[in-house]
Structure formats: structure tokens, C-alpha cells
Amino acid sequence: MLYELISEHEPALRRFIRVRARANAPEVEDILQEMYTKLFSLDELAQKVEARQDTFRSFLFTVVTNLIIDRERRAKVRAHEVHEPFSDTLYSTWNNEPEKCAGIAEKLIEIENVLENINPHHKSAFVLCRVEGKAYREISDILGVSVSTVEKYISAALMAIRNKVQD
């Protein structure tokens, strides 16, 4: 009974995962496998499903959505750990290459100009994060906005910088 219900909704779940998580076929399989593991680890699932078959589909989609969110959070943490801070010793060879130094100085001036011309909230969030090294939570407390809004501010600042530097 339980297997039949899950099988009935599996094609829709696959499409949902592929679109929502922008996942390829192996990732879709991984998320479905996690869903099965999560479902079958629940106590008395079969009895609960029989009693509420009408809400089982939404329950499946909720489980899958939570799994996708968990994967995205883990990916952000991993990406943050990969970040390598700037090291003067690695770039000390630039002292012998004046044209590289001049190019870098020009790019920094362009970035400063962009920061002067963008929304002040975006600039504040960017400077607090990238220059002062504050966490998003700290920035949200300082600016009095949500963490999500801080992410949007920083993203907007980065997009403006990237658009100007790539021109």
C-alpha cells in the first residue's frame, strides 16, 4: 500500500526535484533515496498514511523540499570552507611587475567608483561583509534587516561590481 502510494507520486517528485534543485539525474536519485530513508525511518508510517491518504502527496513534497533545503545549506557551508583568504606572500611577485600593479590599481578604482554609485544599503552590507569580515547575522543586526535581505544586498553589490569590471 505504502509503496504504491509513493510510486504513484514519484514521477511528479522527480520533476519537482529536477526543477527546484536544478539537479541532474544522479542528484535526483540521491534526493529520492534520502526521502525513502527518511520515510521508512518514521514510526508507524503505514498506519498514518492509511488514515490520511489525502494529504500524503503534500507530505512527500514537504519532505523533499526540506531535503533540498538541507542540501543547499550544506553546499553553502562547504563553499564557505573552500574560500581562501588573500595572502601577501603569494602575490609578492607583483612588486616586480608594474603593469600588473597598474591594472589592479585601475580595477580597484573602478570598484570604488561602483561602490560610490550603488544603493547605500548595498554598499554598507558589502563593506561590512567583504572588508570588515562580519557574518551575515551580524550585518543583519547592524542594518536592522533580515539575513535574507543582507544576502540580497551583497548579491546586488557583487553584480554591480562584476558588470562594471567585465565591461
Query: Is residue 27 scored above 80 in pLDDT?
Result: yes
pLDDT for residue 155 is more than 90: yes
Domain 100-166 falls under CATH 1.10.10.10: yes
At 103-117, the pLDDT tens digits run: 778 888 888 888 888
pTM above 0.75, yes or no: no
| Per-residue pLDDT, 81 | 60
Cell of 38: 527518511
State the cell numbers at 80. 564557505
Residue 92 has pLDDT above 60, yes or no: no
CB atoms within 10 A of CB 140: 20
Please report which confidence band the pLDDT of residue 2 belongs to, taking 50, 70 and 90 as the band edges. Answer: low
Kindly state the cell numbers that stand for 109: 578604482
Chain-centre distance for alpha carbon 95: 37
Q: Give 153's pLDDT tier (boundaries 50, 70, 90).
A: very high
Each residue's pLDDT tens digit, 5-23: 778 888 998 899 888 888 8
